[in-house]
Amino acid sequence: MTRAQRYTNLAAVVLPLLAFLAAVVLLWNRIVGWHDLALLGVMYVLTGLGITVGFHRMLTHRSFQTSTAVERTFAILGSLAVQGSVIQWVSDHRKHHAHTDEEGDPHSPHAGFAGGGIGGTLRGLFHAHVGWILTEQGGENRARYAKDLVEDRGMKRISDNFHWLVLVSLALPAAAGFALTGGELKGALTGLLWGGFVRIFLLHHVTWSINSICHFLGTRRFDVDDHSTNVFWLALPSFGEAWHHNHHTFPRSAQHGLKAWERAMDPSALVIAGLEKLGLAWNVVRITPERQREKTLVS
């Protein structure tokens, strides 16, 4: 990772954190309007689905097929989440699956931290949650792990213009806040704060929790050689990504929630099903009950 990339990643971690602390102070003093929370919610959902449906299930694992226009739209929405360029994100995540919880996994809380007692455990969790951003992110051979995207001109253009999309990610809620308050500067600033920085902060930490918590605490029911877990209380804020053990068992599945009640808490799968009904998604990968039983641990 170059020095510029490291500083950029550091800024992406620190600035939203500082903005979140400022937002807490403002909320404590009740200097927050309905439009601020609405912008936070709308931007969180759109960019979160850009990551989960777009970057993850569609591009990383090819869980379904869609048109070029829909693919590009989700790639842009995912970029607005400010978790790295689309090619970088996909490359890192594919390497995670190639070396899950072993040497070479860019964000495992276990690889390299075994036998370290409480200190080693905490270091592993910190690395998996945020530390890897400063040491591992973007360091993979993209031609090896994301060759299909590197060779896609449109996707490469979106990836190469990630820095401009970061600015768009901040400008959109600022402009919306300005418009919703009738042209008030305060509305633009609070829109930027809540719909921009605070939203980025919250979505960052929910996503990073999949790397850390969902490889450390939770439930398991399938026979797989890693430490992935399902964490039900993270399912909704992560748009279904916290059914992570299910996902590692069946990586290409468009549904991470496999049981009926899990599917109800898998918004990303519901969005994909909606796209399918509209004729905008096809060849959606789903796992039959028979295949699930074959992988189920014997109690």
Question: pLDDT value at position 217?
Answer: 87
Whether pLDDT at 172 is above 70 = yes
Residue type at 18 in one-letter notation: L
Q: What is the rounded CA–CA span in Å between residue 63 and residue 43?
A: 24
Share of the chain above pLDDT 90, in %: 63
What average pLDDT score do residues 188-203 get?
A: 92
pTM: 0.90
**Tell me: the pLDDT tens digits for 149-169?**
999 999 999 999 999 999 999
Read off the pLDDT band of 1 (50, 70, 90): very low
Domain boundaries, the chain: 3-220
**Tell me: the pLDDT tens digits for 54-82?**
999 999 999 999 999 999 999 999 999 99
Read off the pLDDT band of 133 (50, 70, 90): confident
Question: pLDDT value at position 118?
Answer: 75
Whether pLDDT at 275 is above 80 = yes
Read off the pLDDT band of 247 (50, 70, 90): very high
Please state, rounded to an integer, the average pLDDT across all residues of the chain. 88
